[in-house]
Amino acid sequence: MIGRGLIEDLERRREIEVTATSREPVHGEDQVRWVQADLTRLEECVQLVEGQDAIVHLAQPAVPLTSDGDLASEVHSNLVPALNLIAAIRIAGTCPRFVFPSSGGAVYGRGQERPFREDDRCEPANSYGLLKLTVEHYLRLASEHSQLSVVNLRIANAYGIPLPPARLQGLIGTAVSRVLEGLPVRMIGNPENVRDYVHIDDISDAVYRALSLDTACSTFNIGDGLGVSVREVIDLIEAAWGKPIERVVEAHPNAVWLPSRNVLDITLARERLGWSPQVALTEGIRRMLFGLPRA
């Protein structure tokens, strides 16, 4: 979802030449060069990074609720690609800017009443968060060895595009899809759990700003700095839809590990990136429900 939104945003800006990668053949617009590649293969990563001034690594397919099911597989599909990219950069000797969309919702782990700051202790509660944090540390090491410069973006719960209704990640995207299809909206775990939500347009803007930041290694929280419960999110969707929405609370064996509250302090992003969220939650939901164009 974030990758799709970012590519569309960079296409509109036009001053950046974009190379995008996928495991499957993709035929995109003329201004985006699509390359079919498997990031678990080092030799393909070497070819991919050659000549690139900046890299945004979004190829991580894990879902937090199921990431602990097959730990070795999670490492292969979510850690190995990042390590291959770092190794390929070392081989190429190009020292690009590396922007890594990490997870503000997973790396901190435990819940706490005040918003998380970037210097708070990280204690991931699942493999998804642990691997995100591990990639951050490998990138930090690579930056210390002058192999690349890195900006880690710890992104809150992203939304902005309707998602498959059976998906276990992306509350707003899946809820909107279920509303549009006339299905009950699922609330997995405690409906009173509080989260931070950020629109993909705002995420794309943060990535764009990170591409030109003068830094060796920086980490920023990217969210709206506000907390909204799962129940309140569904209330907002219902209000925008204009008619009652059927709701069901679903149990999941790993939902017990979900923190009760996860909100991000975005002060550092405002001060150093010059970034702040522009899309209000109510407006973002309305756009999704009624197919309104992105700004």
Instruction: State residue 27's pLDDT score.
Output: 67
4 contacts 157 by C-beta, under 8 angstroms: no
Q: Which two tokens stand for residue 170?
A: 């992306």
3-state class (DSSP) for residue 115: coil
Distances from the Cα of 53 to the Cαs of 39, 149, 170, 216, in angstroms? 18, 11, 31, 14
Paired strand residues for 217: 150
Measure the CA–CA gap between 22 and 10, rounded to whole angstroms.
17
- Strand 217-222 versus strand 228-229 pairing type: unpaired
Q: Rounded distance, CA 72 to CA 64, Å?
A: 15
Which residues, 6 or more positions from 165, have their beta carbon under 8 angstroms from its beta carbon?
A: 174, 177, 178, 181, 183
| Domain 2-289, CATH class in plain words | alpha beta
pLDDT at position 248 is 96
C-alpha dihedral sign at 174, 175, 177, 181: positive
Rounded to whole angstroms, the Cα distance separating 53 from 291 reads 35
Q: What is the pLDDT of residue 219?
A: 98
Contact (Cβ atoms closer than 8 angstroms) between residue 129 and residue 137: no
Regions of the chain short of the pLDDT cut 70: 27-30, 62, 294-295
At 126-137, the pLDDT tens digits run: 899 999 999 999
φ, ψ (nearest 5 deg) of residue 94: -95, -20
Looking at residue 63, its pLDDT comes to 73
- pLDDT score recorded for residue 287: 96
pTM greater than the 0.85 cutoff: yes
pLDDT at residue 217, rounded to an integer: 98
pLDDT tens for each residue of 215-274: 999 999 999 999 999 999 999 999 999 999 999 998 887 777 788 899 999 999 999 999
Nearest Cα neighbor of 104 from 139, 138, 136, 75 is 136
Q: What pLDDT, on a 0 to 100 scale, did the predictor assign at position 255?
A: 76
Nearest-angstrom CA–CA distance, 74 and 60: 9
Determine what percent of the chain is predicted with pLDDT higher than 90: 77
Using DSSP, state whether 260 is helix, strand or coil: coil
Which has the closest alpha carbon to 115: 271, 279, 259? 259
Write out the E strands in the chain.
18-22, 32-36, 54-56, 97-103, 149-155, 157-159, 185-188, 194-195, 197-199, 217-222, 228-229, 247-250, 261-262
CB neighbours of 225 closer than 8 A, spacing ≥ 6?
115, 196, 263, 264, 265, 266, 277
Helix, strand, coil % in the chain, rounded to nearest 5: 40, 20, 40
2-13 vs 200-211: helix axis angle to the nearest 10?
Answer: 60
DSSP per residue over 159-228, as a string? ESS---TT-SS-HHHHHHHHHHTTPPEEEES-TT-EE-EEEHHHHHHHHHHHHT---SEEEEEES-S--E
